[in-house]
Amino acid sequence: MRSTEHIGIIGAGIVGLALARHITLHRPGTRVTVLEKENRVAAHQTGHNSGVVHAGLYYRPGSLKATLCRRGVGMLREYCAEHDLPYREAGKLLVAVNAEDEARLDDIEERAKENGVPDVTRLGPDGIRDIEPHAVGLAGLHSPTTAITDFVAVAEQLADDVRRGGGRVLLNTPVLDLRQDDDGAEVLTGDPQGERIIHRFDRLVLCGGLHSDRLARMAGADPDPRVVPFRGHYHEIVPERRDLVRGLLYPVPDPRYPFLGVHLTRHVHGEVMAGPNAILATALEGYRARDLRARELGRTLAWPGFWRLARRHWTVGARETVVSASRAVFAAQARRLLPEITTADLRPAPAGVRAQALGRDGSLLDDFHVDTHGRVVCVRNAPSPAATSSLAIAEFLYDSHVAGHRPSH
Task: Tell me, rounded to whole angstroms, the distance of Cα 284 from its chain centroid.
Answer: 15
Q: Return the half-sphere exposure (C-beta side, CA atoms, 13 A cut-off) of residue 334.
A: 32
Q: What is the pLDDT of residue 403?
A: 83
Q: What is the mean pLDDT of residues 170-183?
A: 95
- pLDDT tens for 322-342 read 666 678 888 998 999 999 999
How would residue 318 be classed by pLDDT, with cut points 50, 70 and 90? low
- pLDDT tens for 277-287 read 888 899 999 99
CATH number of 226-245+255-364, picked from 3.50.70, 3.30.450, 3.30.9, 2.60.120: 3.30.9
Dihedral angle of Cα 338, 342, 346, 351, to the nearest 10 degrees: 60
Q: What is the pLDDT of residue 298?
A: 95
Domains 1-88+148-225+368-409 and 226-245+255-364 agree in fold: no
Looking at residue 211, the DSSP 8-state letter turns out to be: G
333 vs 263: CA distance, rounded Å: 9
Q: pTM to 2 decimals?
A: 0.94
Closest CA to 147 of 289, 68, 51: 51
pLDDT at 409 over 50: no
Q: What is the mean pLDDT of residues 159-180?
A: 97
Q: Which fold has domain 1-88+148-225+368-409?
A: FAD/NAD(P)-binding domain (3.50.50)
- pLDDT tens for 93-121 read 999 999 999 999 999 999 999 999 999 99
* Three-state secondary-structure class, residue 133: coil
Give me the percent of the chain exceeding a pLDDT of 70. Answer: 94
Helical packing angle, 99-115 and 64-82, nearest 10°:
70
Burial level of 407, CB count in 10 A (0-12/13-18/19+)? middle
pLDDT at 407 over 60: no
Q: Judge whether 228 and 358 are in contact, CB under 8 Å.
A: yes
Q: What is the pLDDT of residue 37?
A: 97
Q: What is the pLDDT of residue 278?
A: 83
Least confident of 74-83, 130-139, 243-252, 258-267: 258-267
Burial level of 27, CB count in 10 A (0-12/13-18/19+)? middle
One-letter amino acid at 366 equals: D
- pLDDT tens for 46-63 read 999 889 999 999 999 999
- pLDDT tens for 196-226 read 999 999 999 999 999 999 999 999 999 999 9
Mean pLDDT, the chain, rounded, equals: 93
Q: What is the mean pLDDT of residues 138-156?
A: 98
Task: List beta partners, residue 7.
Answer: 32, 203
Q: What is the pLDDT of residue 312?
A: 82
Mark residue 346 as left, alpha or beta (left: phi above 0; alpha: psi -120 to 50; beta: remaining). Answer: beta
Q: What is the pLDDT of residue 1?
A: 36
Q: What is the pLDDT of residue 408?
A: 39
pLDDT at 308 over 50: yes
Q: What is the mean pLDDT of residues 253-257?
A: 75
Q: What is the pLDDT of residue 193?
A: 82
Domain boundaries, the chain: 1-88+148-225+368-409, 92-144, 226-245+255-364
Closest CA to 106 of 139, 128, 136, 132: 139
How would residue 317 be classed by pLDDT, with cut points 50, 70 and 90? low
* Three-state secondary-structure class, residue 217: helix
Closest CA to 387 of 57, 158, 60, 164: 158
One-letter amino acid at 335 equals: R
